Structure 1
Amino acid sequence: MSSHRAFQLKLNPLTGNSEWIVIEDNDESFAQNFHKPFLATTSYLDMLNDSTRNAAFRHAIEKTISKPCHVLDIGAGTGLLSMMAARAMGDEGKVTACESYLPMVKLMKKVLRLNGMEGRVKIINKRSEELQVGLDMPSRAHVLVSEILDSELLGEGLIPTLQHAHDNLLVENAMTVPYRATIYGQLVESTFLWKLHDFHNNEATVSDSIRLTPPGLDSVLGIKRQQYAMHVNPLQEEITLLSEPFKIFEFDFWKRPESYGETELCVKATNDGRVHVVVSWWVLQLDQEGTIYYSTAPRWIRSPTITSPIGWCDHWKQCVWFVPGSGISILQGEEIRLLATHTETSFSYNFDTLVPTTKILNHRCMTGDFQLVLPPERAAIYADKEWRLSMLKAVQSMGKDRLLCLVVDDSAFLPLLVAKLSEASVMSLLPGLRERGLQYLQAVAHANGLSHSCIEVLEKNVQQLNMHDIHQKKVDLLIAEPFYVGHDGMLPWQNLRFWRDRTTLNDILSEDALTIPSKGILRACAMSLPDLWKSRCCLSSIEGFDHSVVNATLGACGHLPELEEGPCLPFFVWQCGEFDVLSETFDVMEFEFSKQICECHGKSQVKFTKRGVCHGFVLWIDWVMDLQNSIVISTGPDRKYWKQGVKLLGTPRTVDPQSLTSVQPCSAVVEACFSPLKGELKIILDFL
């Protein structure tokens, strides 16, 4: 039997170490069990639950493929579009399905088998750029069906994929589904969105003595210049629209696209205000005649071409492009010139009224052409007055008799704060930032009244650190935010890497060493999350094709095999569509950071405070920063800068605080067990 071998990079969130795991194609049970944690966190399930998307593709495929031909499906996933194409052609014609991800290929084979389509669709486990006519395909294809679109449209490689397909895999004048995509934009004012990127001007309002972007070094710390996928609908009440929507680019799938394009637009202001962002979205025309559409437009856009309602989904959002600095002031009726460009994979925007180029160049020269790049939420946290004050109080609470402080995480703020407020020697590990973090601290130390040598960056992993590295002194202050580079998409308790680090370093800590934060509290509340639950619920028939076989692997809610649970997934709850809090906030368990990392168990009963449909529980960690438990930094759902963990129920439950029956429970028990080996949190829910 022939076998294929693939390698998957797996990160242990508590050690920061990555290891390669081997996936054997011929070992069904191993592969099936191994794939679950990876596939359960992908957007496949969310896409397959998007009934508007599925129906639009079905109608367009049935309309486009009217006779037997050769169809190519690129990025085939579970094979849904391939099966639609095969069904549209009847018993004749052929479909070549191209899918590069081996775990998904294995899942597609199960779906095809379940639907009696094994002999109708030929699966090729390659990237489309690797396909060869005469080897993988008998001939060039007459029709291309594909869904390789992200929120930005181009991020999954749409342009190079189409270029290669038109050059090598498709007949001349081939038909395509989709047929065309159009990018639209709108100018917007939003204080919240401004705070996600203009760190320098926001930090200027903070009253402490630390400056992460000192005068003259405005650009030494910032976010990456790119579009960010984000649901803007929840911000509608705090957004001011400053223009009508405008068309930016059009991409025809039926012909070879260009790698680069630019267009200049003249946009008229409809209100007075300050342009903070360009919000953009795309509209997909799936058929040649222009009767079938799909749109990712925000809720406030009304379009005569989109007749069916498009609900919330996680896989496609709007995009925001941040205008540098504090934005551009504009008056109603005034026109502003916008230059839009696209590369093979992204879009960018520039206005002709921005900061002069000479000023930008001066910033780059002064920082040695260097910038510490942070996620937008982290930049907003660093400029947040409340967060900064909490950190300031926490460091002040330690007293001034500490001699050696070790910052174990990737905080750019804490090394400067401790060095400024105490006489302790400050050492920092910066496990994810490394050289970039060192460059940054050197760039801003002098401007904060500190010498270049007052903060030492240790270029070693936690596991390798010894007394020699810290000059034979014991550490008497171990501190973290905690924040680790690369943990943005992880669950809250995976930041307990800080606790693992503290345990690893136990031998170099003094007997009276202080640990900040001193403990973590796992907190939770019950929520109604109809949009999120619908996007993760079990699949049955999708446009006439049975997909029940994918539920367990993709981590669907409900109808799973006995003893199997749906995963706990990281989300910004405020980004999850409609939601409502149904219970008080309650503590599940505590993590004592003064002790060695250990298995923890907690159990709490919570009473519902509102009648409604409970779809799951939201969990997060509040960090207690001092021994007196007076300084607490919450990362709960009312804080938009942190992701929470969401544990969805298999079956939603109607709850009622006044109920006296088990049919509509009035309370629930939440039990949790934390494993220090893999950083996993097992959650058991029981309704009373």
Structure 2
Amino acid sequence: MRPSFGEIASSTRNQIIKNQVNGVIPGSSLTIFDVEGGLYLLYGSAGTGLLSMMAARAMGDEGKVTACESYLPMVKLMKKVLRLNGMEGRVKIINKRSEELQVGLDMPSRAHVLVSEILDSELLGEGLIPTLQHAHDNLLVENAMTVPYRATIYGQLVESTFLWKLHDFHNNEATVSDSIRLTPPGLDSVLGIKRQQYAMHVNPLQEEITLLSEPFKIFEFDFWKRPESYGETELCVKATNDGRVHVVVSWWVLQLDQEGTIYYSTAPRWIRSPTITSPIGWCDHWKQCVWFVPGSGISILQGEEIRLLATHTETSFSYNFDTLVPTTKILNHRCMTGDFQLVLPPERAAIYADKEWRLSMLKAVQSMVSYSNSFLCHMIEPFTYRLLCLLPMQMVCHIVALKTVLRDLMMNICQNRASTHNIVRQQVRDIATVLPLSALSPKNKEVDLLIAEPFYVGHDGMLPWQNLRFWRDRTTLNDILSEDALTIPSKGILRACAMSLPDLWKSRCCLSSIEGFDHSVVNATLGACGHLPELEEGPCLPFFVWQCGEFDVLSETFDVMEFEFSKQICECHGKSQVKFTKRGVCHGFVLWIDWVMDLQNSIVISTGPDRKYWKQGVKLLGTPRTVDPQSLTSVQPCSAVVEACFSPLKGELKIILDFL
């Protein structure tokens, strides 16, 4: 992974690491090996040279540090930082992965100290184990000192309806009263999420979750010795409350020194530990991890015990349960659909089983098809095949599939849908057919209905308006659309509100001096937002606002501009005045698109910050502004203007913020 602003700017983290680096490096006689970047490492702190410079400074004037970084742009950036701080002669940068280093070629001798930060939220995902293995085998002296000294994984059993909905699509769908099954018999696993841990801030969910166990230790990794590639442990966990185990929440604790006096933890805020003396606070780069228990979870009573088998590979953890309660059933959904398995992000799995979303889609499709007894329907994106289930069975529909691999799947869906309506399978091809796009003639303008969610697979990190790719696709297909072709959605509305976002703003603020080292040259490369020079503008960031730490809404929601999908894509402008409703510090504006699904503007799917399944766009201010709706003083701004311009060529949105 590439560097994170929040990681570099975390004063607590930097102070702890600096103190420990100073503690393990007593003089200049040691060879220091700073593992940086490579295939496995690192976030921005080492990638920019911070750890290397800390180590070099701790060794005195004669100390030398060898650092490796395989990502060439980071090598160039690190050289700029070293030059700016007069350290280019003290730190040797090698443009290689750490496992490619050789003693005698890249290093004069084996190193006595390993300073590393090969950590992601899961601990192992950045390649901690392979990197330590190679370092101990090839680069370090025996009994070398390491920073950190040890890492420990802890876990806790949790009940959470919200987290359950993020993964158990099949059982959640069964609770919806629309009688539509997007995973019909025989295709139960056609939709699902990947079986893995997911990084997530669980603190915002504290009020709605039930803790079902005390925290328990799972694994321990000693940096000072060679780790094993695979490990497993069996735990017996006692329930502290009645409930249903939906997830295992896990976190790690770093012991930085051998004596066990300095610790750093990613534990949730409800965990109290006497060894963790410094509050970490919110950070975007390290979160807790969530492992979803298959199906609807495991029912358990207070005092009962459940067996947990935890395993780790070189890069990940996994968990399996064996309950001591014989009546407990654990649903284990396996992928048995081959090429038809469609892997979803957890938020999409929750959306597709959401009653409100499904009702909106059902009403929109029914509203559109009511204009004709027969139509040709074009699905913009492969995932939209699910909307087949929403089409009235008495309607004649022909589905145009962009990707041939999904045609058989679409027909399978049609056949399953037909069987639930007592329609003979042989009749299905008279009712619904799946055609390649090449089968359509531009001369005939055959397509009557164009459908998109819109959501594009593999673009989970996109800004909301980047889904307007749907509009560009609609324009590309204009030659095959009938004169009065209908679209779902029919319109998009860009909406916004002002917010206080202190944690997020701080994590994206321009860097200057970090532990005494000038980092100002990294701001442009890493995308700084706060305290930018007057003529520079920071990027708009895609975030789940509820995952951004502390936040507060300071204004009414307002419309910025509209996108009319019945027309071809075009440049759009919009401007709106902001009316603040609460006194506070405004750090920026949150923007999103509400999708109008029908011609009557009565069916709207909102993706605003109150909807946890959707990401919003966050435009941070260069300088936070104190706002007051009452205009108690003449110096406090009480309103602002937000102006936006959408470019159809680049698909980008330019946002201009002006306080009055």
TM-score range, shorter chain: 0.7 to 0.9
CA contact (8 A) 2:509 2:531 kept: no
Range moving further from structure 2, 360-369 or 167-176? 360-369
Q: Structure 2 matches for 1:655-674, cutoff 5 A?
A: 655-659=627-631, 661=633, 663-674=635-646
Range moving further from structure 2, 101-110 or 299-308? 101-110
CA contact (8 A) 1:283 1:293 kept: yes
1:209 CA displacement: 3.3
CA contact (8 A) 2:152 2:219 kept: yes
Cα offsets for 1:552-586 (capped at 9, x unmatched): 22222234344321110000000011100000000
Change (3 A) 1:137 1:646: same
Range moving further from structure 2, 158-167 or 349-358? 349-358
1:413 CA displacement: 18
Q: Distance in 2 between matches of 1:665 and 1:183?
A: 48
CA contact (8 A) 1:382 1:413 kept: no
Q: Distance in 1 between matches of 2:562 and 2:535?
A: 27
Change (3 A) 1:583 1:358: closer
1:515 CA displacement: 1.1
Change (3 A) 1:355 1:216: farther
CA contact (8 A) 2:167 2:292 kept: yes
Change (3 A) 1:370 1:341: farther
Cα offsets for 1:227-281 (capped at 9, x unmatched): 0000000000001000000000000111111000000001010001100000000
1:418 to 354, 360, 380: 380
CA contact (8 A) 1:223 1:376 kept: yes
Q: Distance in 2 between matches of 1:461 and 1:615?
A: 58
Classify the secondary structure of the residue corresponding to 1:288.
coil
Q: Distance in 2 between matches of 1:168 and 1:48?
A: 29
CA contact (8 A) 1:427 1:457 kept: no
Change (3 A) 1:465 1:479: farther
CA contact (8 A) 2:295 2:331 kept: no
Range moving further from structure 2, 92-101 or 620-629? 92-101
In the other structure, the counterpart of 2:402 is none
CA contact (8 A) 1:217 1:363 kept: no
Classify the secondary structure of the residue corresponding to 2:428.
coil
CA contact (8 A) 1:521 1:588 kept: yes
1:594 CA displacement: 1.1
Change (3 A) 1:566 1:365: closer
Q: Distance in 1 between matches of 2:551 and 2:337?
A: 44
- Is 1:91 aligned to residue 51 of structure 2? no
1:368 CA displacement: 5.9
Q: Distance in 2 between matches of 1:67 and 1:445?
A: 77
CA contact (8 A) 2:379 2:451 kept: no
Change (3 A) 1:355 1:597: farther
Cα offsets for 1:477-511 (capped at 9, x unmatched): 01101011011111000101100100111111110
- Is 1:71 aligned to residue 23 of structure 2? no
CA contact (8 A) 2:154 2:250 kept: yes
Greater relative contact order (CA < 8 Å, ≥ 6 in sequence): 1
Change (3 A) 1:364 1:650: closer
CA contact (8 A) 2:240 2:302 kept: yes
In the other structure, the counterpart of 2:430 is 469
Classify the secondary structure of the residue corresponding to 2:329.
helix
Classify the secondary structure of the residue corresponding to 2:381.
helix
1:351 to 293, 302, 321: 321
- Is 1:58 aligned to residue 30 of structure 2? no
1:451 CA displacement: 5.3
Classify the secondary structure of the residue corresponding to 1:76.
helix
Change (3 A) 1:482 1:458: farther
1:136 CA displacement: 1.7
Q: Distance in 2 between matches of 1:524 and 1:282?
A: 37
Change (3 A) 1:395 1:337: same
1:93 CA displacement: 2.5
Classify the secondary structure of the residue corresponding to 1:466.
helix
Classify the secondary structure of the residue corresponding to 2:472.
helix
Change (3 A) 1:611 1:229: same
Q: Percent identity?
A: 90
Structure 2: which 5+ residue stretches go unaligned? 36-44, 399-409, 432-443
Change (3 A) 1:220 1:488: same
Range moving further from structure 2, 231-240 or 103-112? 103-112
Cα offsets for 1:15-45 (capped at 9, x unmatched): xxxxxxxxxxxxxxxxxxxxxxxxxxxxxx1
Change (3 A) 1:453 1:221: closer
Q: Distance in 2 between matches of 1:385 and 1:248?
A: 37
Change (3 A) 1:479 1:468: same
Change (3 A) 1:334 1:104: same
CA contact (8 A) 1:262 1:339 kept: yes
Cα offsets for 1:433-476 (capped at 9, x unmatched): xxxxxxxx999999xxx95495x999999999999999x66111
Range moving further from structure 2, 543-552 or 511-520? 543-552
Change (3 A) 1:116 1:417: closer
CA contact (8 A) 2:158 2:245 kept: yes
Change (3 A) 1:564 1:543: same
CA contact (8 A) 1:527 1:616 kept: yes
CA contact (8 A) 2:151 2:254 kept: yes
CA contact (8 A) 2:266 2:288 kept: yes
Cα offsets for 1:163-208 (capped at 9, x unmatched): 1111111111111111110000000000000000111110001122
Classify the secondary structure of the residue corresponding to 1:551.
helix
1:597 CA displacement: 1.0
Change (3 A) 1:462 1:510: farther
1:353 CA displacement: 3.2
In the other structure, the counterpart of 1:683 is 655
Change (3 A) 1:269 1:465: closer
1:221 CA displacement: 1.8
Change (3 A) 1:358 1:286: closer
Q: Distance in 1 between matches of 2:543 and 2:350?
A: 18
CA contact (8 A) 1:538 1:559 kept: yes
Cα offsets for 1:616-655 (capped at 9, x unmatched): 0000000000111110000000000000000011111110
Change (3 A) 1:595 1:88: same
Change (3 A) 1:371 1:70: same
Q: Distance in 2 between matches of 1:307 and 1:428?
A: 55
CA contact (8 A) 1:411 1:480 kept: no
CA contact (8 A) 2:366 2:391 kept: no
Classify the secondary structure of the residue corresponding to 1:363.
coil
Range moving further from structure 2, 210-219 or 474-483? 210-219
Range moving further from structure 2, 69-78 or 523-532? 69-78
1:539 CA displacement: 1.3
Q: Distance in 1 between matches of 2:490 and 2:466?
A: 17
In the other structure, the counterpart of 1:258 is 228
Change (3 A) 1:212 1:466: closer
1:513 CA displacement: 0.4
Range moving further from structure 2, 633-642 or 70-79? 70-79
The CA RMSD over aligned residues, in Å, is: 5.7
CA contact (8 A) 2:297 2:330 kept: no
1:133 CA displacement: 1.7
CA contact (8 A) 2:33 2:65 kept: yes
Structure 1: which 5+ residue stretches go unaligned? 1-44, 399-409, 432-440
Range moving further from structure 2, 353-362 or 613-622? 353-362
CA contact (8 A) 1:94 1:121 kept: yes
Change (3 A) 1:134 1:466: farther
Q: Distance in 2 between matches of 1:549 and 1:227?
A: 35
Change (3 A) 1:242 1:475: same
Change (3 A) 1:453 1:310: closer
1:678 CA displacement: 1.8
CA contact (8 A) 1:395 1:418 kept: no
Cα offsets for 1:595-633 (capped at 9, x unmatched): 111111111001100000000000000000011111000
Classify the secondary structure of the residue corresponding to 1:531.
helix
CA contact (8 A) 2:115 2:146 kept: yes
Change (3 A) 1:107 1:367: closer
TM-score, length of structure 1 as denominator length? 0.82
Change (3 A) 1:217 1:361: farther
1:372 CA displacement: 2.2
2:397 to 427, 445, 465: 445
Change (3 A) 1:671 1:131: same
